[in-house]
Amino acid sequence: MNPLIDDFSAIANMPPWLLAIIITWTLFWKGLSLWKASQRKSSTWFIILLVVNTVGILEILYYFLFSEMKLSDKKDGKENIKKSTKNPARKNLKNQKSFLDSK
């Protein structure tokens, strides 16, 4: 007999409550990890998480481990530090004020 059909028959023989728990577990972690990947604008991870089914294992690893990693840009052996622009409107206002005070 075909081994693929044997695998599906094993799933059919599972108790329905166990199957419901596995499906709920998988959907919860898949949804959470897909949401985080979309918020981080990580299309590669989004596609991987959408296609690969690992009963929540890859999703949990992404959510707690891989999404927290930040790759630093390196230039000439030194880290490229991005300038913080928390409130560009405030900086622009200071520039305008100094311009008006100079007149």
Please write the tens of the pLDDT for every residue from 26-48. 999 999 999 999 999 989 989 99
Task: Report yes or no on 92 lying in a domain.
Answer: no
Does some domain include residue 56?
A: yes
The two tokens of residue 63 are 């959510």
Report yes or no on 40 lying in a domain: yes
**CA triple 29-35-36, angle to 5 deg:** 90
pTM score above 0.85: no
The answer to whether residue 58 sits within a structural domain is yes
Whether 8 maps to a domain, the answer reads no
Domain-embedded: residue 30 = yes
Question: Could you say which residues of the chain have pLDDT below 70?
Answer: 1, 3-5, 70-103
| Structural domain span for residue 50 | 15-68
Q: Is-contact 62 33, C-beta < 8 A?
A: yes
Residue-level pLDDT at 33: 93
Q: Is residue 42 part of a domain?
A: yes
With respect to residue 57, please indicate whether it lies within any of the assigned structural domains.
yes
| Total tally of structural domains belonging to the chain | 1
